[in-house]
Every structure is written in structure tokens, then in C-alpha cells.
Amino acid sequence: MAVELNKAVADFQAQATSGVEVRLSELKGKQVVLYFYPKDSTPGCTTEGQGFRDQYPAFQAANTVVFGVSRDGLKSHENFKCKQEFPFELISDKDETVCQLFDVIKLKKLYGKEYMGVDRSTFLIDANGVLRQEWRGVKVPGHVDAVLAAAQALNKG
């Protein structure tokens, strides 16, 4: 069953960069930003990741951890993370478990071809594991600032 606003998010675990196993239940006490993006090292995804990178100290100050999520493998993620100097981990969701939980796989069109792909989306989960805000069909410019403002407001309670 997909996530719903103001409801607890089902626990999940997933492999991430740096050999990290991300488990939502182990992040209690911290706010969590999960941003789903289509593909490593593509222009929009790079710009979005750089935005989260550049604002990362402000997210940390707001008691918020950030994870990028895509269907790319760990090797691709490690290269992307290293090249862009991301201070946060990237979750590899090759089997789409996390993507399905957050309902971000959508029918997309590119050059007249239809395919199932990741709809750029971001989710803010509070320190108790409850989904507090979601952004779907994200446009990159200004997005990270909006997420940060929501995380800061939520952290102030």
C-alpha cells in the first residue's frame, strides 16, 4: 500500500552508497527527506542533487537527513555521489520496492516512446516516521528551498 499524508510510513530497508543499509525505523528521532529522481548523472538530477548538497548543513541543523533514491545500481550511485561530492547517501532501488511504496513509478513519454519511469518526487517524514509533506512531479528550480523551509518549520514544531 502506498504512503499517505499524515500517516506512518511503512518500515523499509534498502541498500545505499558507502555500504549503508537504510532502515526507516532506525531513523526515528530525525526527520527524513527522500527525494526520488529518474537517473544518475543526468542534467536535472545532477542540479537537484547539487541543491540538496549545497543546503545539506541547513538540513542537518533542522534535524533532517537526506537520501536520494533512484533505480540505478550502487556502482553508478557511488560514481555520481563521488563526482558531485554529495554528503548524503544514495539509495539503490533496483527492485522498485521503495519506489512502489511511495508510488513514484509513472508512465512517461520520451521522443514519442512510452515507458515506466520515476516521477521526480520528494517526501518529508517527521521524527516519528509520519509522512508530513510530499512534492510530486517536481520541477527542480526552487524545489530544494521549499523542502528545506518545510523541514525547518516541521522541526520547530
Catalytic residues: 45
55 phi, psi to nearest 5 deg: -100, 5
Give the CB-side neighbour count of residue 18, counting CA atoms within 13 A.
11
Four-CA torsion 54, 15, 120, 42, nearest 10 degrees: 70
Give the CB-side neighbour count of residue 76, counting CA atoms within 13 A.
16
Stated as kind and residue range, the H or E segment containing 32 is strand 31-36
The one-letter code for the residue type at 6 is N
Distance of CA 153 to the CA centre of its chain: 19
The one-letter code for the residue type at 99 is C
Contact 91, 22 (CB under 8 A): yes
